[in-house]
Amino acid sequence: MPLTIPREELMLQGHTACAGCGATLSMRYVLKGAGEKSAVAIPACCWAVIPGEFPYTALKVPLIYTTFASAGASISGLREGLDAQGKEDYTVLAFAGDGGTADIGLQGLSAAMERGHNVLYVMYDNEAYMNTGIQRSGSTPYGAWTTTTPVGSKRDYKRENKKVVADLMIAQNVPYVATATIGFPEDLERKVAIAKSIKGPKFIQILSPCPPGWYYNSADTVKISKLAVETKVFPLYEYRDGKLKVYKPAKTLPVSEYLSLQGRFAHLREDEVEEVQKAVDERWESLLKKEQS
């Protein structure tokens, strides 16, 4: 695959993210694709802290902090305001966590997409409310330990399945919907470039591994991101002009290869890992069917 990642850095050093933060790589790659003429809205989430304290910022583009539920509304207003000033060439994007997207911000997101604003909503998915101490979100996967789904005598880990927001956006027929992850940066960059070229609402969900929240060695972020795709736990797909396209990895691995690297799944018994495998296989088959229909 040719190297397509722009050299220009719009995310600078001096940020406050944890070592190995997947969400930080997500921002870095997204901004490289979106370019200097971008305006970013960030709701309450880790990324509201990562750029640093005012008047310092680790981003070379203008950014506005919004309340937790308001990323969708904020990018709608930003877009309309910039257009009114003749600045149609600016890319307006939200950069929001999974809690701010799958849970509290879902209505604002859905409404912004429905109104058809020319915006890109990026959901960086670290699969829990990390900034406030690893609470479960709708996007936390089945089986995961979090501080609100603790593993104790009752083995009360998360029993519900992940709510996949990209699937909801497809159901809403958003013109461009994609999933991506930082272990496949060229693919991510290509998807941001396509999103940028389409006038209208776009949505990209980026799996962004989190060392403290997923409980793994911070050197393994890219490895875990790749494993998520190779085990089919986090399929990469694109939805455009009403058509779904699923990326088929050259090699596929059992889900245990992905789960076993992460402390948040350490409590799962063998039969529970098999359950996860079954659910992953079923979802994969259903995606392939949707691709053919």
Ligand X SMILES: Cc1ncc(C[n+]2csc(CCOP(=O)(O)OP(=O)(O)O)c2C)c(N)n1
Q: 65-104 mask for ligand X (x: CB under 6 A)?
A: ---x----------------------------xxxx----
By beta-carbon distance, which residue lies closest to ligand X? 97
**Tokens describing residue 88:** 């149609």
Residue 105 or residue 143: which is nearer to ligand X going by CB? 105
Of 92-100, 180-188, 199-207, 248-256, the window that binds Mg ion (rule: CB under 5 A) is 92-100
**Tokens describing residue 227:** 């494993």
Locate the DSSP E strands across the chain: 38-42, 63-65, 91-97, 120-125, 176-181, 202-207, 237-240, 243-246
Shortest CA distance to 98 belongs to which of 6, 7, 214, 222?
214
Q: Identify what 131 binds: Mg ion, ligand X, none; CB under 5 to 8 Å per kind.
A: ligand X
Applying CB under 5 A, does 126 fall inside the site for Mg ion? yes
Please state the φ and ψ torsions of residue 240, each to the nearest 5 degrees.
Answer: -145, 140
Residue 137 or residue 205: which is nearer to ligand X going by CB? 137
Q: Identify what 44 binds: ligand X, Mg ion, none; CB under 5 to 8 Å per kind.
A: ligand X
d(CA 55, CA 61): 14
**Tokens describing residue 176:** 């461009």
Q: Which of 58, 130, 174, 261 is in the footprint of ligand X by CB under 6 A?
A: 130
Of 121-129, 214-222, 227-235, 277-285, the window that binds Mg ion (rule: CB under 5 A) is 121-129
8 Å CB contact between 205 and 125: yes
Provide, rounded to whole angstroms, the least separation between the CB of residue 103 and Mg ion: 10
- Tell me the C-alpha to C-alpha distance, in Å, between residue 177 and each of 3, 191, 194: 23, 9, 10
Provide, rounded to whole angstroms, the least separation between the CB of residue 13 and ligand X: 20
Residue 82 or residue 130: which is nearer to Mg ion going by CB? 130
Applying CB under 5 A, does 175 fall inside the site for Mg ion? no
Provide, rounded to whole angstroms, the least separation between the CB of residue 137 and ligand X: 5
d(CA 116, CA 187): 25
Q: How far is CA 208 from the centre of its chain?
A: 6
Residue 98 or residue 167: which is nearer to ligand X going by CB? 98
Cis amide linkage into residue 55, ω under 30° from 0:
yes
Applying CB under 6 A, does 209 fall inside the site for ligand X? no
Contacts with Mg ion, residue ranges (CB under 5 A): 97-98, 126, 130
Contacts with ligand X, residue ranges (CB under 6 A): 44-46, 68, 97-100, 126, 129-132, 137
